[in-house]
Amino acid sequence: MKKILLTGVNGQVGHALQKKLFNYQVFALNREQLNLTDKDAIRQAVQTIQPDLIINPAAYTAVDKAESEAELAYAINATSPQILAEEAAKLNAVLIHFSTDYVYDGSKIADYVETDAVNPLSVYGKSKLAGEDAIRAVGLPHLILRTSWVYGAYGKNFLKTIIRLVSERDSLRIVADQFGAPTSSESIADAIVELLAVWQPQQEKQSGVYHFTNQGKTSWHGFSCAIVSEYNRLAKAKNGQLLKASVENIIAITTADYPTPAARPANSTLNNQKLKQTFNVSLPNWEQGLQQVMCSLE
């Protein structure tokens, strides 16, 4: 697998991947170079580049906005992966695609495994599931990696928002009854590099869905407290400026206290054993992922 077509390179995961895939010939395309709502452009890009592997982290990721932009969300999250898969299949190429913890409804108490029933609560979750189904229907060798709560040093994300808000405000109210695993784009990219060294696409049994998250679980409130505490620890060590609010000023609230257009699962913690057992690949604990990202922040 030498020649890779990589989408969404201005996104969190796409950006991290572009930096780490230096041992491959990567054709990295941003939205201007390949708009995934343009079916002909997708076909043309794949036919021109003739990749051995397509990695597709591009997606419509605005979970709340998707409730009022379903057509666009489905075009990017369902139709474009289908066309990428169809074009890859014509070339005997293979596909790595990203999906989401939001394919589950969150009613399970324990961590989800890949064989659990899906039941997305939101348009975003439904559109991502439709993308998974479309890839499965094409039937080429593929990996669908369900990840969760993605953040990193690059891009817009929850971590950046918390740091900004805590720098401006005395206190913050954060939801404490939704549980999952914050997953850094850096951890994802590292694990993809490991995966590429061991995946044997011709082994049909390896194709399929894998949970692909940092280990452990927390709530958005727990994640926020960890961000602030780690930020202030590093600031103290560097004699830098502490954030305005501290962990004590992060107030736990319920989902009902913070209504959003899209419903989110109460528990979307994903068990990663299948990834470990099949490929001997695992992502670090979420706290470790956070420390790595915080150390790399400007």
Ligand X SMILES: NC(=O)c1ccc[n+]([C@@H]2O[C@H](COP(=O)([O-])OP(=O)(O)OC[C@H]3O[C@@H](n4cnc5c(N)ncnc54)[C@H](OP(=O)(O)O)[C@@H]3O)[C@@H](O)[C@H]2O)c1
Among 3, 20, 31, 160, binds ligand X (CB under 6 A): 31
248-287 binders of ligand X (CB under 6 A): none
Longest dimension (CA), the chain: 57
Residue nearest to ligand X (CB): 11
Q: Does 161 bind ligand X (CB under 6 A)?
A: no
SS3 annotation, 10-72: CCHHHHHHHHHCCCCEEEECCCCCCCCCCHHHHHHHHHHHCCCEEEECCCCCCCCHHHHCHHH
Q: Which is nearer to ligand X, 61 or 122 (CB)?
A: 61
Q: Which is nearer to ligand X, 39 or 246 (CB)?
A: 39
Cα separation values, 236 from 230, 240, 289, 295, Å: 10, 6, 20, 13
Residue 149: closest CA among 227, 79, 35: 227
Q: Does 13 bind ligand X (CB under 6 A)?
A: yes
Alpha-carbon gap, residue 74 to 259, rounded angstroms: 24
**Stretch touching ligand X by CB under 6 A, among 98-106, 215-223, 227-235, 285-293:** 98-106
Active-site residue set: 124
Starting at the earlier edge strand, list the strands of the sheet with 3-6: 25-28, 3-6, 53-56, 94-100, 142-147, 208-211
Q: Which is nearer to ligand X, 203 or 260 (CB)?
A: 260
Q: Does 154 bind ligand X (CB under 6 A)?
A: no
Partnered with residue 48 across adjacent β-strands are none
Q: Does 209 bind ligand X (CB under 6 A)?
A: no
Q: Which is nearer to ligand X, 148 or 267 (CB)?
A: 148
Q: How far is the CB of 154 from ligand X (least distance, A)?
A: 9
Question: Are 153 and 297 contacting, i.e. CB atoms less than 8 angstroms apart?
Answer: yes
117-146 binders of ligand X (CB under 6 A): 128
Q: How far is the CB of 9 from ligand X (least distance, A)?
A: 7
Q: Does 147 bind ligand X (CB under 6 A)?
A: yes
Question: Are 127 and 174 contacting, i.e. CB atoms less than 8 angstroms apart?
Answer: no
Q: Does 21 bind ligand X (CB under 6 A)?
A: no
107 Cβ neighbours under 8 A, 6+ residues apart: 265, 266, 267
Site map 42..61 versus ligand X, x via CB under 6 A: ---------------xxxxx
77 Cβ neighbours under 8 A, 6+ residues apart: 59, 60, 124, 127, 128, 130, 131
Among 1, 10, 130, 273, binds ligand X (CB under 6 A): 10
Q: How far is the CB of 240 from ligand X (least distance, A)?
A: 27
Q: Which is nearer to ligand X, 11 or 201 (CB)?
A: 11
User: Where on the chain is the footprint of ligand X (CB under 6 A)?
Assistant: 8, 10-14, 31, 34-37, 57-61, 76, 98, 100-101, 128, 147-150, 155
